[in-house]
């Protein structure tokens, strides 16, 4: 029987690249995101090209009711989730603390923190029942050092870091692995979302250096998932070669 991976936020960026990587390696996939058209196209593409099975689960991770209803109502043979990749997330704005928008703060906290908690809380009982599982949480270098104008995005990713540590302790008794992966700057739709569609501003983020690609990050995610059962990478920071930490980048 193929293993099952549940990835949140597969309609773009890391999640999309990760879905491709797991499909290439024979996993059946539960795909999630809010853009249902992209999910359906992705499902058909991965099924046709790699002969795997995909289950499209279009919900907003902020919607507690939808998260629990969808996950609890998964067909029985889709409940054997081996790996959960908590990837859905976003940054909104780069304004200084006093100028930043409260709505943006709410959206980041609701998505990056509460959404991750809801999906995990819904999936963990399936893993406990099978006494195995692997949760991979996507943090950020922003979790490790706050940067100017990063305020609540950095805080939300620090929360992912802390939640990962807490999960690892509490889920140890159930033989569930917990890995936190903290990527640095990667060119995806991330900056386009952060700057609300302003393409020029988004492009400038990656000027003067070679950023990570979504495929680079997916390789690392897949590597952590492919280690032997007794080996767990707990915490991993990955940046491009021209980045030292969340705010020091060599743009030459
Ligand atoms: P993208 O914007 O390319 O992808 C984000 C994904 O998250 C999309 O599939 C989007 O799908 C999904 N998503 C966003 N909000 C929700 C929601 N409320 N419910 C369900 N799905 C949602 O960005 P990345 O791939 O770059 O980002 C993925 C993760 O990696 C995020 O957590 C981000 O914070 C983190 N990260 C990104 C870095 C970067 O430089 N790119 C570096 C470090 C971490 P849809 O819109 O269809 O709902
Ligand atoms: C995304 C990378 O540098 O914009 O987490 O915070 S950064």
- Predicted confidence (pLDDT) per residue in 65-78, tens digit: 999 999 999 999 99
Residue range 35-53: mean pLDDT, rounded: 98
- 32-43 pLDDT tens trace: 999 999 999 999
Residue 169 lies in a domain: yes
111 lies in some domain = yes
| C-alpha–C-alpha distance, residues 171 and 126, integer Å | 13
Say if 93 falls within a structural domain. yes
For residues 210, 215, 219, 224, the Cα torsion angle rounded to the nearest 10 degrees is 100
Q: CB burial class (10 A; 0-12, 13-18, 19+) of residue 83? A: buried
Q: What residue's CA is closest to ligand 1, atom 19?
A: 60
| CATH number for position 94 | 3.40.50.720
Query: How much is the pLDDT for 213?
Result: 98
Which atom of ligand 1 is the closest one to the Cα of 61?
19
60 CA to centre of ligand 1 in angstroms: 12
The answer to whether residue 20 sits within a structural domain is yes
List Cα–Cα distances, 84 to 20, 22, 50, 107, in angstroms.
Answer: 15, 12, 20, 22
Q: Could you tell me if the CB of 142 is within 6 A of ligand 2? A: yes
Residue 96: pLDDT over 90: yes
The answer as to whether 159 is a domain residue is yes
List pLDDT tens digits, range 147-190. Answer: 999 999 999 999 999 999 999 999 999 999 999 999 999 999 99
pLDDT at 181: 99
Give the tens place of pLDDT for each residue, 223-236.
999 999 999 999 99
Q: How far apart are CA 217 and CA 181, in angstroms?
A: 9
**Is the reported ipTM for this assembly greater than 0.95?**
yes
Domain hosting 231: range is 4-238
**pLDDT of 1 higher than 90:** no
Give 111-148 pLDDT, tens digit per residue: 999 999 999 999 999 999 999 999 999 999 999 999 99
Tell me the three-class secondary structure of 155-189, residue by residue: HHHHHHHHHHHHHHHHHHHHCEEEEEEEECCECCC
The residue annotated as part of the active site, out of 27, 153, 206, 223, is: 153
In a domain, 247, yes or no: no
In this predicted structure, the answer to whether residue 88 has a pLDDT above a threshold of 90 is yes
- Nearest partner of 171 among 220, 121, 221, judged by Cα: 121
Q: Is 153 a residue of the active site?
A: yes
Kindly list the distances between the CA atom of residue 51 and the CA atoms of 28, 135, 205, in Å, as whole numbers in the listed order.
9, 25, 38
User: Would you say the CB of residue 185 lies under 6 angstroms from ligand 2?
Assistant: yes
* Distance of alpha carbon 168 from alpha carbon 179, whole angstroms: 8
Q: Taking the model in full, what pTM does it have?
A: 0.99
Q: Which helix (H) or strand (E) holds 133?
A: strand 133-138
Does 50 reside within a domain? Answer: yes
Q: With respect to residue 84, please indicate whether it lies within any of the assigned structural domains.
A: yes
Give residues with Cβ within 8 angstroms of 8, minimum separation 6.
15, 32, 33, 61, 85, 86, 87, 88, 115, 116, 119
Count of domains observed in the chain: 1
- Ligand 2 pocket member 158 (CB < 6 A): no
């Amino acid at each position: 029987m193929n293993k099952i991976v549940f990835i949140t936020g597969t309609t773009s960026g890391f999640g999309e690249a990760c879905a491709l990587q797991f499909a290439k390696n024979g996993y059946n996939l539960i795909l999630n995101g809010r853009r249902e058209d992209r999910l359906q196209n992705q499902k058909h593409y991965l099924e046709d090209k790699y002969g795997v099975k995909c289950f499209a689960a279009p919900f907003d991770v902020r919607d507690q009711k939808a998260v629990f209803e969808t996950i609890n109502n998964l067909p029985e043979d889709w409940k054997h989730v081996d790996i959960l990749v908590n990837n859905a997330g976003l940054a909104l704005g780069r304004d200084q603390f006093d100028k930043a928008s409260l709505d943006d703060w709410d959206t980041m906290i609701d998505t990056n923190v509460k959404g991750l908690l809801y999906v995990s809380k819904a999936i963990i009982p399936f893993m406990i029942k099978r006494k195995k599982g692997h949760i991979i949480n996507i943090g950020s270098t922003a979790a490790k050092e706050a940067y100017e104008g990063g305020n609540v995005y950095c805080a939300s990713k620090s929360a992912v870091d802390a939640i990962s540590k807490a999960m690892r302790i509490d889920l140890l008794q159930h033989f569930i692995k917990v890995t936190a992966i903290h990527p640095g700057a990667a060119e995806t739709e991330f900056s386009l979302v952060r700057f609300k569609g302003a393409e020029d501003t988004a492009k400038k983020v990656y000027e003067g250096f070679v950023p990570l690609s979504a495929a680079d990050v997916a390789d690392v995610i897949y590597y952590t998932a492919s280690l032997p059962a007794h080996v767990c990478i707990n915490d991993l920071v990955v940046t491009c070669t021209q980045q030292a930490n969340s705010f020091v980048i060599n743009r030459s």
